[in-house]
Structure 1
């Protein structure tokens, strides 16, 4: 009877610690001083999005089933062994303390890995939502004069959106920067672009602009190698959910920063026609070659 209680207590304590840690992480997330710039907005589904959610659920169930298979024999061995311990003669000594310390260390490592991956998961989820919103709004531009490609694979990175417009090709990088949760005026919803940096209400970011510029340069080189001639590629940064303020320096910058919300992306169709329809078609074919084949 005592062995059964010890066996059950070991699993109950571990389960309680896991639940407590998960609840604490969720509470800290809710009390965060920042929120998504798309909070409260209705977002349309992508084609097959509910099917993708079902696929993800089935993947999680497969992992759970794998863990049950993986732990089945060790758990039964543990249950069998613990029932054969004479607990009346048991003494907690150095060896037992070492095993307990090792167990706690393994649990701590698992907790650290959980928190690290939870943060990465939440960042990726917000980034996915921002790309989805931007992609849906950019798709409104598609027509005889414009082609849009999404999530274009490159050399060790991807370009979120490529807009092949009459004036030029735009390499668009989408970012989801969180807003301050408590906002008393409109300034908390604005970001100023000075041509080199994005100046948010409480921080400054230069990496997004630099990243967009690098990706545009790579795309320009790739198109030149593929088509044998120069193709103008303009770097752009999309900030869904933010209000953009542009300085004079921003208007002279080679990087365009915009919000895709409303009619914010329509400027991509403006300007004189530097790329004739035949060239736009060739560019679209070259970009499509970067996508992988279906196995």
Structure 2
């Protein structure tokens, strides 16, 4: 029992020192939050509408928190091991210094391998999230130009299964659900950003790879949105699924299977068609429902409970 305590005592002391150092910072944060919260509040009286890529922004923030913790762990490990060894020797541990150093090096190696592998995977995931976020923002900015032509545009509509529809456009020509897929291209060998959508074989052919056309997913999103809007408005709403490929020149082969793939540059030719399905009144009703579905970004520094009159 004495031997076990001799091993654990330095670790307990080290953890106590670390927590003691963090306590003042936690106290300052708590006092600051209470102080600021009693003086000023947000002037906004409603939540905000979701911007393009909002879900990816949230995921990126959570991932960055994990990365910060892993980097802090890597930086703190050497100091923690040295402090543990010194405290271990000071407490009169039974093992000699060679055994202590060997044991600590083994622990350090295992910890570094575990954290390094996880860090590699998280950094790869972060890169993919950033590329996807930039693509959604780009497509969102292009689609927002449709508002100058009388359309309504919404972003990041949450579905019941926890996923989201990247963009929704309401125009006189109908309602469109838009999914964004941001696919990079090789920098040197394949410089031409040209791809082919083969509707007959349900695939997208790029210069360096072939990807399946996600028709099932796109139709599922459009079907869900159609049911939600039909139920909310009382009239039948048909939603057309679309796939945006930013940065690619799109060629099409075969007959469309109900999913339209396009480059989002100059989007009016894809959303303002020579047909009129929705009048201004119905467009307004649809916009109202979509506004309710996307206006859930909370305000900062707001008073709990009822907003003061």
Residue aligning to 2:288: 285
User: Counterparts of 1:12-161 in structure 2 under 5 Å?
Assistant: 78=84, 81=87, 84=90, 90=96, 92-93=98-99, 97-143=102-148, 145-155=150-160, 156-161=162-167
Residue 184 of structure 2 is matched in structure 1 by 178
Query: Is 1:214 the equivalent of 2:214?
Result: no
Are 1:260 and 2:293 matched, yes or no?
Answer: no
- Quote how far apart the aligned CAs of 1:264 are: 4.6
Structure 1 residue 202, shift from structure 2 partner: 2.3
**1:14 aligned residue:** none
Q: Is the 1:160–1:172 Cα contact (8 Å) retained in structure 2?
A: yes
Greater length-normalized contact order (CA 8 Å, ≥ 6 residues apart): 2
1:240 counterpart = 2:243: no
Alpha-carbon contact 1:126-1:176 (below 8 Å) kept: yes
Native 8 Å contact 1:173 1:208 kept in 2? no
Alpha-carbon spacing, 1:106–1:76, altered in 2? closer, same or farther (3 Å)? closer
Distance in 2, matches of 1:175 and 1:281, equals 29
Query: What is the CA-CA distance between 1:211 and the residue it aligns to?
Result: 2.4
Contact 1:154 1:290 in 2 (8 A): no
* Whole-angstrom CA distance in 1 between matches of 2:249 and 2:112: 44
3-state SS, counterpart of residue 98 of structure 2? coil
Q: CA deviation at 1:76?
A: 9.2
The whole-number CA distance in structure 2 between the counterparts of 1:77 and 1:184 is 53
Q: Within 2, Cα distance between the matches of 1:204 and 1:167?
A: 32
1:190 matched to 2:194: yes
Determine if contact 1:141/1:266 at 8 Å carries over to the other structure. no
Deviation at 1:101, TM superposition (A): 2.7
Ranges of 4+ aligned residues in structure 1 off by more than 4 Å: 71-77, 95-99
- Structure 2 CA distance for aligned equivalents of residues 160 and 210 of structure 1: 16
**Alignment CA distance shift 1:210-1:197 (3 Å):** farther
Deviates further, 233-242 or 173-182: 173-182
TM-score (norm 2): 0.64
What CA distance in whole angstroms lies between the structure 2 residues aligned with 1:110 and 1:149?
Answer: 40
Cα distance change, pair 265–208 in 1 and its aligned pair in 2 (3 A): farther
TM-score for the superposition, normalised by structure 1: 0.67
| Contact 2:204-2:210 within 8 A present in 1 as well | yes
Query: Cα–Cα, structure 1 residues 75 and 96, in superposed 2: closer, same or farther, change >3 Å?
Result: closer
Structure 2 CA distance for aligned equivalents of residues 287 and 220 of structure 1: 12
Shift of 1:90: 3.1
**Whole-Å separation in 2 of the counterparts to 1:185 and 1:74:** 49
Equivalent position of 2:274 in the other structure: 271
C-alpha distance in 1 between matches for 2:117 and 2:164: 29
Q: Give the drift of 1:241.
A: 0.5
In structure 2, relative to structure 1, the CA distance for the partners of 1:294 and 1:86 (3 Å cut) is: closer
Provide the rounded CA distance (Å) in 2 between the counterparts of 1:91 and 1:258: 67
CA RMSD of aligned residues (A): 3.4
